[in-house]
């Protein structure tokens, strides 16, 4: 059995992503034989080839929300993965507002290259082979529908906390004791009126949810200046849960 997570990018926030201070290709999740691409932002296709990963091997595509840093490369990746829709792919999951007719982040012709498109919703369970993919609590995130995501089989449970402003409901809306939990931790401390998680929010969630392992990623300039490894070290000390600061290209087995 083989479970791993490769970070094709770790940037977050306008400056870091759109000046490429960190890469922004999303995450490649390998779940015991099934490959899942999550949030292919700018450069995702390039980063895959750099890491020796093959777009044609992707089984499931997941967009946590429609913002460009999470979706801008989805069309290039689908074109590559489906050989321009000739080799159909199994499953694409995204919130409905990412895919609506007039304003879809996925080009209409490429949707024909996907056998099944599912809209992510709170509490919705999507079954794929041995996997169950569940939409968790809805986040507060700048007008884009965004949901927490749980992916599990009978052996492992992966949980993704995408972008959004912290609120107490998140302490109840996420499951406890997952094998690995990934947090889009854009800031060290909350920034008023900006809908992003901070390390201080992650601390509250870790103390309540107690995953076996946690990863912080999606870093802003504020976070890069604070040095993500140091922030992760403090979180580890404070929560007694191993917290890793993601780096571009980092691969974690879990």
The nearest distance, CB 171 to Zn ion, in angstroms, is: 21
- Start-to-end CA distance of the chain, whole Å, equals 10
197 binds Zn ion (CB under 5 A): no
Burial environment of residue 103 by CB neighbours within 10 A (0 to 12, 13 to 18, 19 or more): exposed
The nearest distance, CB 53 to Zn ion, in angstroms, is: 21
Q: Which is nearer to Zn ion, 43 or 113 (CB)?
A: 43
163 binds Zn ion (CB under 5 A): yes
What string marks each residue from 83 to 112 as x (binds Zn ion by CB under 5 A) or -? ------------------------------
The nearest distance, CB 17 to Zn ion, in angstroms, is: 8
Neighbours of 213 (CB within 10 A): 15
Q: Which is nearer to Zn ion, 3 or 147 (CB)?
A: 147
The nearest distance, CB 186 to Zn ion, in angstroms, is: 7
Q: Which is nearer to Zn ion, 163 or 246 (CB)?
A: 163
How many residues of this chain bind Zn ion (CB under 5 A)? 3
Among 47, 67, 150, 157, binds Zn ion (CB under 5 A): 67
Q: Which is nearer to Zn ion, 65 or 89 (CB)?
A: 65
- From the list 19-27, 45-53, 60-68, 108-116, the region that binds Zn ion by CB under 5 A is 60-68
The nearest distance, CB 198 to Zn ion, in angstroms, is: 14
The nearest distance, CB 147 to Zn ion, in angstroms, is: 12
Q: Which is nearer to Zn ion, 95 or 173 (CB)?
A: 95
- Of residues 17 through 36, those in contact with Zn ion by CB under 5 A are none
Rounded CA-CA distance 22/136 in Å is 28
159 close to 148: Cβ distance less than 8 angstroms: yes
- From the list 66-74, 101-109, 110-118, 168-176, the region that binds Zn ion by CB under 5 A is 66-74
69 binds Zn ion (CB under 5 A): yes
Q: Which is nearer to Zn ion, 35 or 220 (CB)?
A: 220
List residues binding Zn ion (CB under 5 A).
Answer: 67, 69, 163
């Amino acid at each position: 059995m083989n479970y791993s997570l490769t970070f094709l990018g770790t940037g977050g926030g306008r400056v870091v992503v759109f000046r490429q201070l960190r890469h922004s290709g999303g995450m490649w999740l390998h779940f015991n034989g099934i490959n899942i691409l999550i949030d292919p932002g700018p450069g995702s296709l390039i980063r895959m080839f750099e890491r020796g990963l093959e777009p044609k091997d992707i089984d499931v595509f997941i967009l946590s929300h429609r913002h460009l840093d999470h979706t801008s490369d989805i069309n290039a990746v689908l074109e590559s993965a489906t050989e321009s829709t000739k080799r159909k792919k199994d499953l694409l999951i995204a919130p409905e507002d990412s895919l609506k007719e007039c304003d879809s982040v996925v080009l209409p012709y490429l949707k024909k290259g996907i056998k099944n498109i599912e809209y992510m919703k709170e509490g919705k369970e999507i079954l794929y082979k041995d996997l169950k993919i569940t939409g968790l609590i809805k986040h507060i995130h700048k007008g884009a529908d965004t949901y927490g995501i749980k992916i599990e089989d009978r052996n492992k449970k992966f949980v993704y906390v995408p972008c959004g402003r912290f609120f107490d409901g998140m302490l109840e809306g996420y499951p406890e004791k997952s094998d690995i939990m990934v947090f889009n931790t854009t800031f060290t401390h909350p920034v008023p009126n900006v809908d992003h998680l901070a390390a201080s929010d992650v601390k509250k969630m870790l103390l309540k949810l107690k995953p076996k392992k946690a990863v912080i990623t999606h870093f802003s300039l504020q976070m890069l200046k604070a040095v993500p490894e140091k922030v992760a070290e403090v979180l580890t000390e404070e929560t007694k849960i191993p917290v890793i600061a993601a780096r571009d290209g980092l691969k974690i087995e879990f």
